[in-house]
Amino acid sequence: MTGTGRCGTLSAMAEESSGGLKAKAVAPRWRNAWGVAGGLLASLAIFVAGLEAMFRMLPWAIPAKALVHFEPELRARLAQGRFPTRADTILMPRDDGGDAIRIFKPYAIKPYGQDTCGAVRQVKTDEIGFGNPPGIYNAHSNIDLLAIGDSFTWPSAVEPSTAWPMQLGAALGCPAYNLGRGGTGPYEYLQILKRFGLPKSPRVVVMNLYEGNDLLNIMEHLEYRSGKMPRAAGAGRGHKTGFAWRRSYAWNLVAGGLIYLRENARANRQEGRVDYRFRVGRVPFNQEQSSRDEAVVARRAVAGEIPYGAFAEPLREFRRLADAHGFRPVLVYTPAAAIAYAPAEFRDPELGEVLARFSRDQRQALAALARELGMEFIDLTPALQRIAQEQAPAEDNLLYFPGNIHLTPRGHAVVARTLADALAGPLAAAK
């Protein structure tokens, strides 16, 4: 019994000793793992803190595209001076059930990125917030010629005096005023016309329809009016209410980047990948992939998902206003840069074919609708294509900026000359 007990005790001691050695061997491994994890977390914290400090000192280093997914109030602070913000705008009432319209405040500054072909870095609004030389609106009780439209009417990266409405008025020898507002569509054009244009008793009103996204703007208005689209005032905030969202530049950049990747992947699944880059001769266009929604709406329209007949309601209202207020309504169609320079060389050749068909079908539908409503329809596509073919495209003679793909000063001049030739008769008839 005693021997057995001693052997058992020795065996137990041996096992305890062996277990202790194993525990001692495992403990360093756990300590090493925790040490590595702690080191990684410390490195990440140092990196994030450094990133935060850098952005605090150099906020302009945050990529412009990244700001889209920042918390709205923080984004507004960072964008101030770089891009227009809500602080630069005022809310304009509307009577058609659409979403909020914001127009610029008087003498606001709209900055633009660097581009070629005589682009300016900023445009200053006039005394009521539109893109005109100051003093015109208040100086005239009556203005003969008004232009309504989006950023292809507004002076995008050009001097207000250079934009086609001012040049057109000079060519026709009558007071003219530019009521263009970027980021809007035909329903918004009419609201702006009623608020600011009709009080000036115009004799001719030119509605400039842009090929790329006016149809999309119409569909968005209809979706909003039917309750399918949320208000713009609350869009973009979502869950961005926590401390990190409201305070940290680095958090917004990283988390916003993940949101962008998720939304971009979802959009690619739903609408197909979009590569809206192209070349005109040796000149690359749209290398930053702006306005990709133009490619999306073209695909949907060509597939029959968006009807061109959606233009009918706002254009009938345009005709009604013309009859009620005694002005001559004129529809003008401005093509996208790739169509004016057709055939452009697309990274995605299939997209080029879709855009060409979209342009053709949309112009035909609008021409037929204008005939039905008894309005002049001026398609600028042939004139711009003719000028584009006269000489090899180079960065000093383009009709559209290669960066923001809007009309250059030369493009505005071509539009003004073309419209002056067409409108001399209508303007005289309206006298």
Distances (CA, A) of 243 to 68, 246, 249: 19, 5, 11
Residue ending a domain, among 57, 74, 95, is 57
Number of domains in the chain: 2
Alpha-carbon gap, residue 75 to 298, rounded angstroms: 31
Which structure tokens are listed for 418? 């073309």
39 and 77 inside one domain: no
288 and 366 inside one domain: yes
> 89 - beta bridge partners?
104
The pLDDT of residue 21 is 47
245 and 348 inside one domain: yes
The pLDDT of residue 262 is 66
Alpha-carbon gap, residue 40 to 43, rounded angstroms: 5
Q: Mean pLDDT, consecutive 10-residue segments, the chain of 431 residues?
A: 48 50 54 70 74 71 68 69 72 94 94 82 96 97 98 97 98 97 97 98 98 97 85 53 71 70 60 85 92 93 97 98 98 98 94 97 98 97 96 91 95 98 71 51
The pLDDT of residue 42 is 77
8-state DSSP, 312: H
395 and 412 inside one domain: yes
Residue ending a domain, among 57, 74, 94, is 57
53 and 115 inside one domain: no
128 and 6 inside one domain: no
24 and 82 inside one domain: no
Contact call for residues 73 and 246 (beta carbons, < 8 A): yes
26 and 94 inside one domain: no
Contact call for residues 245 and 71 (beta carbons, < 8 A): yes
47 and 87 inside one domain: no
Structural domain boundaries, residue 23 = 2-57
The pLDDT of residue 2 is 46
133 and 23 inside one domain: no
Contact call for residues 181 and 88 (beta carbons, < 8 A): no
The pLDDT of residue 386 is 97
The pLDDT of residue 252 is 72
48 and 119 inside one domain: no
- Triad 362, 153, 229: Cα angle to 5°: 65
Alpha-carbon gap, residue 152 to 129, rounded angstroms: 17
77 and 154 inside one domain: yes
**CATH number of residue 112's parent domain:** 3.40.50.1110
DSSP string, 318-372: HHHHHHHHT-EEEEEEE--HHHHTPSPEESSHHHHHHHHHHHHHHHHHHHHHHHH
Give the CA count within 13 Å in the CB-facing half-sphere of 83. 13
